[in-house]
Amino acid sequence: GIQVEQSPPDLILQEGANSTLRCNFSDSVNNLQWFHQNPWGQLINLFYIPSGTKQNGRLSATTVATERYSLLYISSSQTTDSGVYFCAPNNAGNMLTFGGGTRLMVKP
């Protein structure tokens, strides 16, 4: 099956800083989603982005499917951004394959 690697595994930021999270995948994909898992365990949809760039407030994502990677940008980070960010490509039509996640802590 497809392999998904996320980097960095852990990230500590000061409030207000910007960051870039990376997701590499080993095979071509039909689509890709980014999720934020908050400290209560909820998985929140951030982006559905099979290719190109999308923006939602302080967050934006870019997927370059031909080069098999996706990036998630967080600008002006806030303490509420803390949690784990997952990348999940879908290359088999039905199932999402999750990476190991990037654990983000934003300090006030």
SS3 of residue 99 by DSSP: coil
Contacting residue, 41, 56, 67, 108, with other proteins by CB under 8 A? 41
**Position 96 contacts other proteins (CB under 8 A):** yes
Q: How many CB atoms lie within 10 A of CB 17?
A: 14
Contacting residue, 85, 86, 89, 102, with other proteins by CB under 8 A? 86
The single-letter DSSP state of residue 81 is G
Which amino acid is it at 10?
D
Nearer to other proteins, 13 or 21 (CB): 21
Interface segment toward other proteins; rule CB under 8 A; list 8-16, 25-33, 54-62, 67-75: 25-33
Task: Output phi, psi for 80, to 5 deg.
Answer: -70, -10
Binding site for other proteins (CB under 8 A): 30-31, 33, 35, 41-43, 45, 48, 86, 88, 90, 92-98, 100-101
